[in-house]
Amino acid sequence: MSVIRAFRRLGIPALMYLFLVPCQAQGTASPAYRQNTGNTNAWLMYFGNHKFSPLLGWHAEVQIRRHDLIREWQQLLLRTGLDIYSKNVRYTIGYAFVETYPYGEFPVAHSFPEHRIWQQALVSHSTGRLKLSHRYRLEQRMIGNASAGAFRNGRFENRFRYMLKGSLPLTGNTLEAKEFFLAAYDEIFINFGKGVRYNLLDQNRAYAALGFHLGKIGKLECGFLYQVLQQGSLIQTGMDTFNKIENNFTFQLGLFSDLSFYKTPKD
């Protein structure tokens, strides 16, 4: 119980600890053998969901992820997809390209590419003034070879992600244009499949932000992300083997746009 209390003091959900122990037991390292490191990053992000018909839309996403605040590359992520709208659920299927660069205390040998196919369901509802969304995402990841810095001789992994996000207007019962709001989320990443050995729990992200409604353009969020990431490989130090754990503190600036390309016909 003392370990769980320590995790709570650090702000790490107890659920993450429950996943972390069994996934570490799969490797040669025991749960006591972990090597931790910390990174300070900055992510600049654009998320667009643009309707072009009553039922369909285009998802467009760009994330520029920098290490050591803005000095070095961490990742470049480009994601696109087809949105399908229903009453309270938005479904999406799409493709993503990711380039990961060497960074931090546990750098990869070379930058390498990754291709993803992804499927998602976003369920939204409100409880009083609080707007909630549940995001369920599946990813089929074709990961390049970091040793060679190329896509050939890579590996395939499946990953499930669940995110619970809430937003609360600071004035009034609903969020209107030119008003501020608070936003927060927690997201857990779980790997599965034959290629996964040491990081069944891939990562957990906890986020809090101050937002501003820009009107037709969308919403701007400025916040802070705490990410705990367990790498998929081990590190050997003498006779001991360690799991590699990143504790990443990340500044985020994100624009969320739902500007529609579709004009509702007038009655």
Tell me the residue range of the domain where 12 lies: 2-257
**Which of 80, 83, 101 is CA-nearest to residue 91?**
83
- Count of alpha carbons within 13 angstroms of residue 61, beta-carbon side: 21
pLDDT of residue 11: 46
Average pLDDT over residues 213-239: 85
Which residue, 58, 62, 133, is CA-closest to 92? 58
In a domain, 262, yes or no: no
For 228, counting Cβ atoms within 10 Å of its Cβ (0-12 exposed, 13-18 middle, 19+ buried), the class is buried
pLDDT per residue as tens digits for the range 103-112: 998 888 899 9
How many independent structural domains does the chain possess?
A: 1
Q: What's the whole-number mean pLDDT along residues 157-180?
A: 95
- Say yes or no to pLDDT of 23 above 90: no
Predicted confidence (pLDDT) per residue in 101-137, tens digit: 999 988 888 999 999 999 999 999 999 999 999 999 9
Dist. CA 75–CA 107, nearest whole Å? 12
Q: Is residue 126 domain-resident?
A: yes
Contact 83, 58 (CB under 8 A): yes
On whether residue 267 sits in a domain, the answer given is no
Closest residue by Cα to residue 92 from 63, 60, 125: 60
**Does the global pTM surpass 0.85?**
no
Most confident of 31-35, 128-132, 234-238: 128-132
pLDDT of 16 higher than 50: no
Alpha-carbon gap, residue 234 to 211, rounded angstroms: 39
Q: Is residue 263 part of a domain?
A: no
- Output the domain CATH number for residue 116: 2.40.160
Q: Is residue 6 part of a domain?
A: yes
In a domain, 264, yes or no: no
